[in-house]
Amino acid sequence: MSKNSIIYIVCIAFIGIVVYFSFQSSGKYEKIREQGIELIGTVRTHGGDVIVNWNANGRELTKRLSKPNSTVRSGETFKIYYFDKYPDMCYVAFEEPIFDRQSFLSTPCEELDRLSGDAVKFKYKIDGKEFTRFQEANFDGLTAEQLTVYYKPEDKRVAYLVK
């Protein structure tokens, strides 16, 4: 067996291992989402990371994640799914923001761009200033005109696109 054949076999094995573990990881989060306990978590940003805090059974739990996108702001709240037995394994549902529509104002969605998966980029204007936000959400078949942007009056960068 030649040196090139050995290198080729090692590369194929390495790729196979990476693919296997990426599928295992994605399945783990699906299981947490389907069977886990649902709570609300609050995020705070720190550098390029998001730190999620939630309270479960009187315990304050924290999970550090790489930042899903640059528009996530400290103080936002999202649904969290986790297993009580393994609290360090959690799924933060960035596609399920929790906000009080009564304390947010609405404006039309100016532009909607579909990105990979269920990610979208949308633009909205407030007092003539344009804002851009990213969100995980499935808006298949809908246009910008069919969606409404709810934004936080105290921080207009915090906004959610809603059907």
Q: Give the per-residue pLDDT at 41.
A: 95
> 42-50 long-range contacts, Cβ below 8 Å, gap at least 24?
42/75, 42/76, 42/77, 43/72, 43/73, 43/74, 43/75, 43/76, 43/77, 43/78, 43/92, 44/74, 44/75, 45/72, 45/73, 45/74, 50/92
CB-CB contact of 48 with 54 (8 Å): no
Q: What is the mean pLDDT of residues 111-127?
A: 93
3 state DSSP class of 11: helix
Instruction: Tell which residue, 77, 75, 71, has the closest CA to residue 98.
Output: 77
**Cα 35–chain centre separation:** 19
List all residues 6 or more positions away from 115 whose beta carbon is below 8 Å from its beta carbon.
Answer: 121, 134
Q: Taking residues 40-51, report their average pLDDT.
A: 88
Higher-confidence position of 85 and 146: 146
- The answer, yes or no, to whether residue 23 has pLDDT greater than 70, is no
Which domains, ranges and CATH numbers included, belong to the chain? Answer: 3-97 (2.40.50), 101-162 (no CATH)
For 83, the token pair is: 């297993």
For the segment 94-112, the average pLDDT, to the nearest whole number, is: 95
pLDDT for the residue 117? 83
Residue 127 is which amino acid? D
pTM of the predicted model as reported, rounded to 2 decimal places? 0.76
Highest mean pLDDT among 2-6, 87-91, 107-111: 107-111
Which one is predicted more confidently, 87 or 16? 87
Would you call 78 exposed, middle or buried from its count of C-beta atoms within 10 A (0-12, 13-18, 19+)?
Answer: buried
- Residue with more model confidence, 31 or 23: 31
pLDDT mean across residues, the chain: 84
Q: pLDDT > 70: what percent of the chain?
A: 82
pLDDT of residue 8: 52
Quickly state the pLDDT bin for 40 (edges 50, 70, 90). very high
Q: What are phi and psi of 100, to 5 degrees?
A: -90, 105
